[in-house]
């Protein structure tokens, strides 16, 4: 079995890698960016959520800056996506799947690390979701898109579910690799439902912009 700190690190690095691919492919598809811009957007997407998490729980300098592997993994992800751009640039599904995977992994690691730093259960759930959506939100702000967390109903909710399962498992004393994978999988599947069926949460009675 992986020790808890190793488990956190592994999940965090896998999440960093998939978010870096996601950010880089988004950069290639939606904006005319050169290799530096692609790698920059990859690292912002991959590292943004964790930096926000660590600043809020007081883990400074953030893991991103105290452990070189985060930067190495994020940069590698950006470069890999850049190299594969020709093959991937017509596919939007990979981006959505990568984004869902990163969301799921960071919801788990965000909630888990928040508990390690003594936050309460409710706060850890919120912080897990914030870690999960943070990097993608920064990415969307930088390329001037309305962030998915605002317009896509099943984006914040799966992150909250993944974080809640993590917190519940930890409080029940059964948190470990199995529980972490189960929590991430639950988040991933709910997010997938949202993508496939384009589901949204309830809208207000008379919705729509009014100026």
Q: Which is nearer to a second copy, 173 or 209 (CB)?
A: 209
In whole angstroms, the minimum distance from the beta carbon of 198 to a second copy comes to: 12
Q: What residues make contact with a second copy under the rule CB under 8 A?
A: 27-38, 40-41, 51, 55-58, 60-62, 65-66, 68, 71, 82, 85-86, 89-90, 114, 117, 119-120, 122-123, 126-127, 137, 141-144, 146-147, 149-153, 155-157, 200-211
Comparison of 153 and 176: residue with beta carbon closer to a second copy: 153
Task: Give me the least distance between CB of 1 and a second copy, in Å please.
Answer: 29
Q: How far is the CB of 102 from a second copy (least distance, A)?
A: 18
DSSP result, 125-149: HHHHHHHHHHHHHHHHHHTT---HH
Report how far residue 124's alpha carbon sits from residue 203's, in angstroms, rounded to the nearest whole number.
Answer: 27
Helix, coil or strand: residue 172: coil
Q: CB nearer to a second copy: give 2 or 201.
A: 201
Report yes or no: 20 and 74 within 8 Å, Cβ to Cβ.
yes
Nearest-angstrom CA–CA distance, 6 and 3:
5
Among residues 131 and 179, whose Cβ is nearest to a second copy?
Answer: 131
What span, in angstroms and rounded, lies between the C-alpha atoms of 91 and 188?
A: 19
Closest contact distance (angstroms) between CB of 53 and a second copy is: 10
Q: What is the largest CA-CA distance in the chain?
A: 57
Question: For residues 141 and 178, which CB has a smaller minimum distance to a second copy in the complex?
Answer: 141
Distance CA 160, CA 77 (A): 26
State how far the Cα of 179 lies from the Cα of 165, in Å rounded to an integer: 8
Give Cα 207 distance to the centre of its chain.
29
Q: Name the minimum Å distance from CB 50 to a second copy.
A: 12
Nearest 5 degrees, angle CA 177-CA 107-CA 15?
75
Residue number, 84 or 181, with CB nearest to a second copy = 84
Q: How far is the CB of 37 from a second copy (least distance, A)?
A: 4
């Amino acid at each position: 079995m992986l020790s808890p700190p190793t488990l956190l690190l592994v999940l965090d690095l896998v999440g960093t890698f998939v978010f870096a691919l996601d950010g880089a492919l988004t950069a290639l598809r939606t904006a005319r960016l050169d290799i530096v811009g692609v790698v920059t957007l990859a690292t912002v997407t991959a590292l943004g959520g964790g930096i926000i998490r660590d600043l809020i729980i007081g883990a400074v300098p953030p893991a991103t800056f105290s452990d070189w592997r985060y930067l190495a993994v994020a940069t590698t992800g950006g470069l890999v996506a850049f190299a594969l751009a020709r093959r991937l640039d017509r596919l939007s599904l990979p981006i959505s799947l990568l984004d869902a995977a990163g969301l799921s992994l960071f919801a788990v690691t965000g909630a888990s690390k928040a508990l390690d730093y003594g936050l309460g259960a409710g706060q850890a759930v919120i912080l897990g979701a914030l870690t999960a959506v943070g990097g993608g939100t920064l990415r969307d702000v930088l390329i001037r898109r309305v962030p998915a967390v605002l317009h896509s109903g099943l984006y914040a909710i799966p992150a909250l579910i993944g974080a809640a399962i993590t917190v519940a498992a930890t409080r029940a004393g059964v948190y470990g690799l199995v529980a972490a994978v189960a929590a991430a999988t639950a988040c991933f599947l709910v997010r997938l439902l949202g993508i496939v069926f384009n589901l949204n949460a309830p809208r207000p009675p008379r919705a729509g912009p009014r100026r």
